[in-house]
Amino acid sequence: MTTLYGYFRSSAAYRVRIALNLKGLDYDQVPVNLVKGEQQGADQRVRNPQGLVPSLMLDDSSVVNQSLAICEYLDEVHPEPALLPVNPLARAQVRALAQLIACEIHPLNNLRVLKYLVGELGADETAKLAWYRHWITEGFTALEATLSSGSSTGNFCHGDTPTLADICLVPQVYNAERFECDLSAYPTLQRIAAHCRSLPAFEKAAPEAQPDAS
């Protein structure tokens, strides 16, 4: 059985849960508690020397790390329903939307970075929140501009079926809400995220629906 090593609140694990659910795949979940630092333990480092989640372990015990690599792997091995359009330019545009989140917002705002800010740099709670919100504002403003003017934007980030872009958007919106970011300037993101969240594959992937939710 495919096994996901993740954490209910990890945005990157949340992406993989959505992809697995969209593909209709069965999987086991093994929680790796990020707050307790279990991702840095020997068990998780065997799967991912970087000590991060998620890791997906396949039936033959091969491991795939990095959430976007996992999602594209699932899309290649289980092509239906497709997580990327067919046309190369459209594929690139969907990947670029996903990467705007996965390479420009999320890496700056995850737990290990916030910990470094507070620990090594001595940032107080206000400075930490300002940092978090700054990168959300930078990224979401660009994403809103792209999606609100994009001719390919539909019920989802690209057209009327969920893609890799939506898989990244929903966990990032969830995370921003948790940090009480004002999202009123991003009506298109909010509309798309709300639509996604009404679907069973997204609903079942939500942090609060996970066995390790606390």
CA distances from 31 to 7, 97, 122, 155 (A): 5, 28, 30, 32
CA distances from 205 to 47, 61, 79, 149, 184 (A): 22, 23, 20, 29, 24
Q: State the residues that interact with a second copy by CB under 8 A.
A: 48-52, 58, 62, 64-66, 68-70, 72-73, 76-77, 88-89, 91-93, 95-96, 99-100, 102-104, 106-108, 113, 116-117, 120-121, 123, 127, 130-131, 134, 138-139, 141-142, 145-146
Query: Nearest approach, Cβ of 172 to a second copy (angstroms)?
Result: 13
Query: Nearest approach, Cβ of 193 to a second copy (angstroms)?
Result: 19
CA angle 125, 177, 83 (to 5 degrees): 130
**Number of other CB atoms surrounding residue 34 within 10 Å:** 20
Comparison of 46 and 194: residue with beta carbon closer to a second copy = 46
Comparison of 126 and 184: residue with beta carbon closer to a second copy = 126
Q: Which residues contact 30 (CB under 8 A, 6 or more apart)?
A: 3, 4, 5, 6
Query: Nearest approach, Cβ of 131 to a second copy (angstroms)?
Result: 7
Comparison of 119 and 211: residue with beta carbon closer to a second copy = 119
| Total length of the chain | 214
Comparison of 100 and 205: residue with beta carbon closer to a second copy = 100
Query: Nearest approach, Cβ of 198 to a second copy (angstroms)?
Result: 27
